[in-house]
């Protein structure tokens, strides 16, 4: 997205396309310089030929040169002409090579531009598809979040009702068991009062003392059992209110035999 990676398959490393464009520009400048040099050389050669021809005409009109001097002049002119023609030929070949290279780079540049345009179109198609999919998922996510919130609210309400129901059951069991134990204690205390009333006489006191002691021990044990049952049921109720699970069970009660 930020053009920091090579553009495969047209780049082996980052900046190949920019480097080719710079080389293309350099070749253009070299071609321009060669054309200017060729024009300057052609102009200079034409001027030199004109000057030589004028000099030849002037020399012929003014003096009669020897055949050797004339041959030398012609040879020199031919040498200069061949040299100029050779330079001209070389410049033409260089110009042709530069034009071929420039055309090659121009074709490559056009091909790269076309490829970039095609890739950009593909990118836009993928981007539009991604945006549509993203919007669709966002809508579905919103609906799911609403359903999750509703489910959480329902779950919390169910948990509250469940806790309330468990507390109610434990409270009922507690009241039932404590009512039974309190009834047992009340009966035992009635029997104890009766025995104590009968044992008020001196003759019956030794006989009933052991029974009175047994009933007192029995009442004390049942009261301890009552305290234990109440405490354990209260503990279970508090655990359920604090979110504990698997607490819905009856407290184990020891059945003490009556004296």
Residue 173 lies in a domain: yes
pLDDT at 214: 87
pLDDT at 7: 66
Residues 6+ apart with CB under 8 A from 24: 102, 105, 106, 109
Dihedral angle sign, alpha carbons of residues 11, 15, 18, 23: negative
Residues 218-246 have pLDDT tens digits of: 999 989 998 988 898 898 888 888 877 77
Residues 10-53 have pLDDT tens digits of: 667 777 778 888 889 999 999 999 999 999 998 888 888 888 88
In the chain, the number of structural domains is: 1
Residue 192 lies in a domain: yes
Residue 168 lies in a domain: yes
Residue 172 lies in a domain: yes
Residues 6+ apart with CB under 8 A from 184: 222
Containing structural domain, residue 215: 160-242
Instruction: Tell me how far apart the alpha carbons of residues 162 and 175 are, in angstroms, rounded to a whole number.
Output: 20
pLDDT at 164: 87
Residue 169 lies in a domain: yes
Instruction: Tell me how far apart the alpha carbons of residues 31 and 40 are, in angstroms, rounded to a whole number.
Output: 14
Burial class (CB in 10 A: 0-12, 13-18, 19+), 229: buried
More confident call, 61 vs 4: 61
Check: CB of residue 127 under 8 Å from CB of residue 121.
no
Residue 214 lies in a domain: yes
């Amino acid at each position: 997205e930020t053009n920091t990676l090579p553009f495969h398959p047209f780049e082996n490393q980052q900046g190949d396309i920019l480097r080719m464009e710079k080389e293309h520009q350099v070749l253009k400048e070299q071609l321009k310089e060669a054309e200017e040099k060729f024009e300057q050389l052609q102009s200079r050669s034409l001027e030199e030929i004109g000057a030589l021809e004028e000099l030849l005409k002037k020399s012929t009109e003014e003096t009669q040169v020897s055949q050797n001097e004339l041959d030398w002049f012609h040879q020199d002119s031919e040498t200069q002409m061949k040299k100029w023609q050779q330079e001209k030929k070389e410049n033409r070949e260089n110009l042709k090579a530069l034009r071929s290279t420039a055309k090659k780079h121009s074709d490559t540049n056009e091909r790269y531009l076309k490829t970039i345009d095609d890739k950009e179109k593909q990118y836009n198609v993928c981007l539009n598809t991604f945006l549509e999919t993203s919007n669709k998922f966002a809508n579905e996510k919103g609906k799911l979040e609403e359903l999750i919130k509703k489910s959480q609210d329902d779950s919390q309400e169910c948990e509250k009702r469940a806790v309330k129901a468990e507390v109610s059951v434990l409270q009922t069991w507690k009241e039932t068991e404590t009512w039974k134990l309190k009834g047992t204690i009340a009966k035992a205390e009635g029997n104890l009062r009766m025995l104590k009333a009968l044992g008020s006489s001196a003759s019956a006191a030794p006989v009933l003392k052991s029974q009175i002691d047994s009933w007192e021990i029995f009442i004390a044990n049942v009261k301890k059992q009552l305290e234990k049952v109440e405490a354990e049921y209260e503990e279970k109720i508090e655990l359920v209110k604090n979110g504990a699970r698997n607490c819905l069970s009856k407290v184990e009660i020891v059945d003490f035999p009556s004296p």
